[in-house]
Structure 1
C-alpha cells in the first residue's frame, strides 16, 4: 500500500471512530436526560378533595414544582398527610412530570352524643374524649375515647361499665358520633388483706390507708372506690406509718387488686416486710464549716438516744438545723443525716453533718398542672424564692405544706438545670382535686340551749376561687332553734403567714327555757404563727342578745311550777311583777331579761400550742389554749373573762388502737366597774361533767341556774375499737371519768333563795359510743354521778355531736 493510501485509510478510521464515539455520547446523553425529566416534578395535582383546599395539600407535602422527588420523598408526603387526621386514605403517584395526589377526606364530626350516662355528666365526658364537634372523624381516636370513658367510670367505682361507639350519617358529609354507655353497678372492695404484718394487725393498718372495704354507708363516704393512684398513695402512707414507729427497714413487697367480675368486687392484698424495730443510738452534730458551733445547735435536735426511731423526727431535725445555720448567715450550708445501724442491738446512731454545700441559686419556680389554684398560692408555701440559695431541705418542707393543704391529689417537686451551672429550676407538678363540700347532718342533742332534733346544711370551700381562702356557709334547724353562720378565712393576709377572717352568726332558741334567746353577732380575727406549734390569735367581737318575748316572762309559783290562768301559762311583763306569793324564774334572771337587748363589744386574744398528730382524729400530742376576753369597748357589758383548756393524747396500744386522753380546763370572769350581768356568767353542766344536765351544776336561785364566775374541770378517757364490729363502720367505745365545779357570784340584787355559791366538787364515771357517721361525729354517753349536790339537775343519758377536744 502506498503512503497516500495508508494516510487515507488512517483518516477514515479516525473519522469512523469519532463518529461512533459521538454517536455513543449522544445516546448516553439522551438516556441521562430522560431519567432526569422523569424525577423532576413540574406540577402537583390534587384529586378527591372537597373541603380541604388543594393549595393546603400542596403546602403540607412540601414537594415543590421544579425539584427532584424520590420515592422516599413521596412516601414522606403521604405519611404527613395521614398525620393531619384530615384524610382516611391518601395515594400518590408520578406520571411524567406530574405528581398526582388522590385523597379521601375524613368526615367532619357534627355532634358528639353520650347516651345512658347518669353518674357522669355530659360536660365531664366531653372533657374526657378527644373526638370533638367540627373536627375530622377518626375511628382510632374514637376507639381511644371508649377506653378513656371506661377509665373515667373506673375512677368513680364502676369497673363493669361498658362503652361502645357508633356513627350516624348527617348532612353535608358530616357524621354524628354516639357513645353508648351502660354504667353498670358500683364496684366496691370486698376485702383488704395484709400479708407479712406481725407488729400491727390488719384492723390497725386499715385505719392508716384511705381505701375502705364496702360497708353500709359506703355509698355516702365513697371510700370503697378502688383507684390505682389511691393504692400507690396508701403504700406511701404505710411506709410513713412504719418509718415513724421505728421500722426503718420496712418495705412493700407487693400490692395487688384483683377484680372478681362475678361479684363486681375488688380483692386487695398488700404484702409487707416489716423488718426490725429500731431505737436511736448516739446522736451527734458534726460541722466542717468554720464558725458554726455544733454544741450550740443541740437544742434543735428532735431525736434523742433511747427513743423509738422516727423518720419524721429526723426530717424535723434537718429543718431545724438548716434554719438555724441559715439564720447565722450560712445560706449554703447543707445538713446531711448519716445513720449507722447496729443490727445486734437494733439501734440507729445518727450524725448530722453540716458541710459547706455547692453555691446554687433558685433561678425560677415553675408551677404545672394547677388548673384552678393560682400560682401565688403554691409559691407562698416555699421558704425559698427566685434568687435565693437553693436548699433541698426547705424544698421538701414546702412539699409537705402543699400536701397538707388538701388542694391536690399529688404534689411532686423536681429540679432542672438552669441557664448557668449554679442555677436551678424548681418544677412543681400538682394534680388538682375537689376542695368543695356540701354537707347535710342531723341528729338529736340532749341538753343545752339547742336540745332536741337538729339538722345542719352547709357548704364549705377550702380553696375559694383558687385563692386558697376558706369559706363556709351553714344553717342549722331544730325543733325550736335556728342558727345561721358565715365564716371566711384568708390564710396569707397581706402576703404574710397571717390567717385573717371574719365570722357572722344568728341564733334563735326557745326550747330550753321559759324565755326566748336571740343572738346576733360576729367577729374579726387574726392568727399569727410564732413557731410551727405555737400560734397567737386576736379578735374583735360584737354581739347583741335579746331575752324574753312579747309575752313577757313566764311566772312560776313558790313550788317551782308554772302558774296557769284560765288554762294558759301566765306571763308578766317587765315592771309589772304580779302580787302574791308569785315570782318569775329568778329575780336575778328576771332583771337581766328586763335589761335586754344587751350588747357586748370585746377584744379577745389567745395562745394555742398544738402538737396533735391529726386534727380530726388525734392519737398523740398536746393541745393547750389560754386566752382572755375584755368587754367594755363600747356596748353594755364590762368584764374580763379568762379561760384555759388543754388535752393530752397518747396511743396506749398501737396494735389495738387504744387511745388515752387527759383533759383539764378552768375559767374566771370578773366585772370591770359595775356588777356582772348574770348572762355573762359561766353556765356549765354536762360539757364539763357528764351525767348532769346542761346548766345542771353551780349556783341556783329558786332552783333556776344563774351561772357562776369560776369553773374548773378535769377528765380522763380511753377510747377503743369495738370488738366483733368492723372498724370501717366507724364505731368506737369509750370509758371516762369527769370531775369539776362551777361556783362564785358577782351579781348584786335579790340574793333570796340562792344556793351553790361556794365550791363543791361534782364527779361522774361512764361509758360512751362514738360513731364517725357520714353526717359528722355522733356520740352517746351514759354517766353515773359519783359526787353531786341536792339542787343539781341530772341527766345520765346524752346524745349529740362529738368533739375530741
Structure 2
C-alpha cells in the first residue's frame, strides 16, 4: 500500500471516529486535522502481531497515552513502523479513547541463495546484499540489493548483467529468496586513443593512466574495466604528469567514451592540449612573518632557475619552507607560490610568499573506506593530530606518504567545517588493495649448480598493521639451499623508526670438495632524515661452517684430507665453525618515481661496517652503489640508466678470512656466475679486497608487440673488476689478484606481467680471464596475488 493511501486511511479513521461523515477526501482531511488536534487517547491497542511483540509496536510510534496528537503524528507513526521492515501493511485509527494500530507482518527470509553466478562467488555476494536470513522480506530492500549486485558486476567489466528474483514460500510466514543472475559477456576496452599529444607518444601516456586496453591477460589484471570515477582519476594523473614535466598550461579537453553494443566493448578517446613547455625563471622567497627572513629559506628550494618546470618541485619546496617556519615557532604560517609567466622565453618565475595565515586547528581526523588497514596505521603518517594547528603542506605530505605505502588503490584527503569557525575536520578516504606477493627467481650456472631457483612469499601490510614479513626458500641441483625470514615494524615504539630482524641460513657446494654453510641473524633500525634520505644501523651475528664434501661423520664434525683441498680451505674446514660479529651503518638516497619500473630518479647507498666485536673476523669495510634513471626519448618511451658500485675492505687485526672479502658475479656483472670473478686458489673462489663495477642500459617498448602485453626490451653493457687478496694461502697458487677488467654485453626482455615484473637476460662476456666462471642466462620474477 502506498504511503499516501495509508495516510488517507489513517486520517479517515480519525475523522470517522470523531463523528465527521463526508464523501469528500478533502473534507475528511480538514475535519480529521481539527479532531486530531484535540484528541487524547488513554491506551494503545495493537492488532495483527504474531512474531513481533505489541510493546515493540508501541515503542515505534510517536503517539503516547495522555498526550494530544495530530494527523502529523499519525503519519510519522505509520512511517516509523514501515521503516522497521517488519510490516507489509500498517493502519492507525481511533476508537473512543483507544488508538488502534492494525498491522500485517512482513514475511521472514528463510534463506538467501544466488543462482547463475560464476564470476563472483556466493560469499562475496552475501556481503554485498542487505537482505539476510531471518530478516524481513522487503521489495524495496530487494530492489536495492539488485542494484548493488549490478554495481559489483560492473566493477569487473560486466555491465550488461541481468538480475531477477524468485520468492518461494516454504512455511507460514517464511520464504526463500533467490537472486537469479545472468552474468552476460564481459565488457572490454578495445582502444584508448589520445588526440593532441605531440611531446609524448600514446604508449608513454598509457603507462601513466590506470585504465588499460583489453588484452590476453586482462582477465587477471581487471585494468580494462571502464569506470567513470577511474577515468576522472586518469585525467588527474595525466595533468600531474604534464605539470611535472614542464607543461604548466596542459589541460584535458575531453574524454569521450563510446560503447559498441554489438561487440560489447568501449572505445575511449582522450583529447589533450599540451601547451608550451616551461622552465623555471627567477625563484625567490619573500616573508611577511616577523622573525623569518626569506633569504634564509632560499636553500630549501627544490625549484631552481633554468631547470624544467615541475609542480612536484614547487610542492616539495612549499613543504620544506612550511616545515622550517613551523619549527621556528610559527605553526600557522602559510606558504603560497606566485607564478610569473614569461611567454617570450617560456619561463615561469616563482615567488614563495610566507605569511602568518589564519588560525585553524584540527578538530578530528576521520578515516573512511579502510576495510583491512587499521586506523592507527593511517593516522601515524600525519605529522599532526587532533588539536594541532592546521597546515595544508603537512596534509599534502601525509597524502604522498600514504600513497607510497602501496596499501591503497586510492587516497583522498578533504576538509570539512568543524564545530567552530576555527575548527577543521580532516576526512581521509582510502581503498585497500592486496599487499601480498609471491616471487620466483631463477638462474643457470654453467659448470656450477646448474638451475638455481628461489621462491618467496611476502606481505607488506600484515594483518592490516603495516608490518612487513617475507619468507624465502631457494635451492639448486647441487645441494645448494637458502632460507630467509624477515620482519619489519615500520613504527617502532611509536616513532618513525623501521625496526626489524632477518634470520638466514644457506648451504652451497663448491666446485671442489667442500660445502659452505652459514646461518645467523641481523637486527636493524632505519630512521628517515628527509623524505628521500634515510639511515640504517644494523648488527649481524653469523656462524659459518666449512665441511669436506662427502666426509660427514655421525658426530657432525667434518673429517678432511690435506690432499683433496686447496690450502686456505683446509684451514677453514679444520677450524670450522667460524663466527662473525658485525656492526654496520648505511645511508640510502632514493628519488625514484616508481619502484617497479623507474623512469627517472636516483637510487644511491653508502655502507660501512666493522667486524671485531667478538668472533673470528676483524676488518673494516666500505661499499656503495649508485644508479640514475632518465628518459632518453619521451616520445618513444626509451629509458636510460647508468650505475656504478665500489667497495674496499682492510684487515684491522692480522689477515682477512676468505669469507671477509668481497664476492661478486652475475648480479653485478651479467654473463658471469655468482663468485665468478676474482682471486682463486685452484677451483675455489677467494674473493677480493676491492671492486668496481659500472653498467649502462636502455629499455624500450617491444616493437611489433601489442601494447597491452607490457613487454619491454633492454640492451646493456656491464664492466667491473674484483682484485686484491689478503688471505693466507700457504702453498697454493693464487690467480686473479690483479686489476683485470671484465666486461659483458647483452639483451633482455622485461615483462610487466599481472604477477609483477619478470626479467630474462642473456649476456656474453667480451673481456674475461680463463679461470672466470660464466653464466649466460639469468631469470628473475616477482608476482602479485
Both structures adopt the same fold (TM-score exceeding 0.5): yes
Alignment check: 8 A CA contact 1:193 1:202 kept: yes
Q: Which residue of 2 aligns with 1:779?
A: 759
* Distance of 2:65 and 2:669 partners within structure 1: 97
Q: Which residue of 2 aligns with 1:143?
A: 143
Q: Which residue of 1 aligns with 2:581?
A: 601
Larger radius of gyration: 1
Q: Normalising by structure 1, report the TM-score.
A: 0.85
Distance verdict in 2 for CA 1:602–1:72, change over 3 Å:
closer
Q: Which residue of 1 aligns with 2:689?
A: 709
Q: Which residue of 1 aligns with 2:778?
A: 799
Q: Which residue of 2 aligns with 1:700?
A: 680
Q: Which residue of 2 aligns with 1:592?
A: 572
Question: How far is 1:690 from its partner?
Answer: 3.0
* Distance of 1:483 and 1:50 partners within structure 2: 69
Q: Does residue 577 of the first structure (1) align with residue 543 of the second (2)?
A: no
Question: How far is 1:534 from its partner?
Answer: 1.7
Alignment check: 8 A CA contact 2:679 2:736 kept: yes
Q: Which residue of 2 aligns with 1:543?
A: 542
Distance verdict in 2 for CA 1:292–1:116, change over 3 Å:
same
Distance verdict in 2 for CA 1:644–1:802, change over 3 Å:
farther
Q: Secondary structure at the match of 2:453?
A: strand
Superposition pairs of residues 727-738 of structure 1, within 5 angstroms: 727-738=707-718
Q: Secondary structure at the match of 2:60?
A: helix
Q: Which residue of 2 aligns with 1:170?
A: 170
Question: How far is 1:44 from its partner?
Answer: 5.0
Q: Does residue 691 of the first structure (1) align with residue 681 of the second (2)?
A: no
Superposition pairs of residues 128-277 of structure 1, within 5 angstroms: 128-184=128-184, 186-277=186-277
Q: Secondary structure at the match of 2:51?
A: coil
Question: How far is 1:336 from its partner?
Answer: 0.7
Count the aligned residue pairs. Answer: 744
Q: Secondary structure at the match of 2:687?
A: coil
Q: Which residue of 1 aligns with 2:726?
A: 746
Alignment check: 8 A CA contact 2:340 2:348 kept: yes
Distance verdict in 2 for CA 1:416–1:696, change over 3 Å:
closer
Superposition pairs of residues 161-560 of structure 1, within 5 angstroms: 161-184=161-184, 186-422=186-422, 424-439=423-438, 441=440, 443-446=442-445, 451-458=450-457, 460-479=458-477, 480-510=479-509, 514-548=513-547, 551-552=550-551
Q: How big is each residue's C-alpha offset from its partner over 1:490-517, in whole Å with a ceiling of 9 and x where there is no partner?
A: 1111221111111112233348665433
Q: Which residue of 1 aligns with 2:24?
A: none
Q: Which residue of 2 aligns with 1:564?
A: none
Q: How big is each residue's C-alpha offset from its partner over 1:609-657, in whole Å with a ceiling of 9 and x where there is no partner?
A: 2222222222212222111222222333332222111111111211211
Question: How far is 1:702 from its partner?
Answer: 2.9
Alignment check: 8 A CA contact 2:87 2:105 kept: yes
Distance verdict in 2 for CA 1:749–1:199, change over 3 Å:
closer
Q: Secondary structure at the match of 1:60?
A: coil
Alignment check: 8 A CA contact 1:448 1:694 kept: no
Q: How big is each residue's C-alpha offset from its partner over 1:229-248, in whole Å with a ceiling of 9 and x where there is no partner?
A: 43332222111101101122
1:652 is matched with which residue: 615, 632, 653?
A: 632
* Distance of 1:179 and 1:450 partners within structure 2: 57
Distance verdict in 2 for CA 1:182–1:445, change over 3 Å:
farther
Q: Secondary structure at the match of 2:126?
A: helix
Q: Does residue 636 of the first structure (1) align with residue 581 of the second (2)?
A: no
Which structure 2 residue ranges, 5 or more long, are not aligned? 1-30
Distance verdict in 2 for CA 1:56–1:284, change over 3 Å:
same
Question: How far is 1:573 from its partner?
Answer: 7.2
Superposition pairs of residues 48-63 of structure 1, within 5 angstroms: 48-63=48-63
Point out the more displaced range, 631-640 or 505-514.
505-514
Alignment check: 8 A CA contact 2:106 2:137 kept: yes
Alignment check: 8 A CA contact 1:283 1:351 kept: yes
Q: Secondary structure at the match of 1:516?
A: strand
* Distance of 1:75 and 1:708 partners within structure 2: 90
* Distance of 2:539 and 2:36 partners within structure 1: 92
* Distance of 1:187 and 1:477 partners within structure 2: 44
Question: How far is 1:374 from its partner?
Answer: 3.1
Alignment check: 8 A CA contact 1:450 1:478 kept: yes
Question: How far is 1:99 from its partner?
Answer: 5.2
Question: How far is 1:208 from its partner?
Answer: 0.8
* Distance of 2:184 and 2:446 partners within structure 1: 46
Alignment check: 8 A CA contact 1:435 1:461 kept: no
* Distance of 1:519 and 1:463 partners within structure 2: 30
Alignment check: 8 A CA contact 2:332 2:357 kept: yes
Alignment check: 8 A CA contact 1:110 1:133 kept: yes
User: Which of structures 1 and 2 has the larger relative contact order (alpha carbons within 8 angstroms, sep 6+)?
Assistant: 2
Alignment check: 8 A CA contact 1:38 1:97 kept: no
Question: How far is 1:220 from its partner?
Answer: 3.8
Which structure 1 residue ranges, 5 or more long, are not aligned? 1-31, 554-571
Superposition pairs of residues 53-92 of structure 1, within 5 angstroms: 53-64=53-64, 73-92=73-92
Question: How far is 1:297 from its partner?
Answer: 1.5
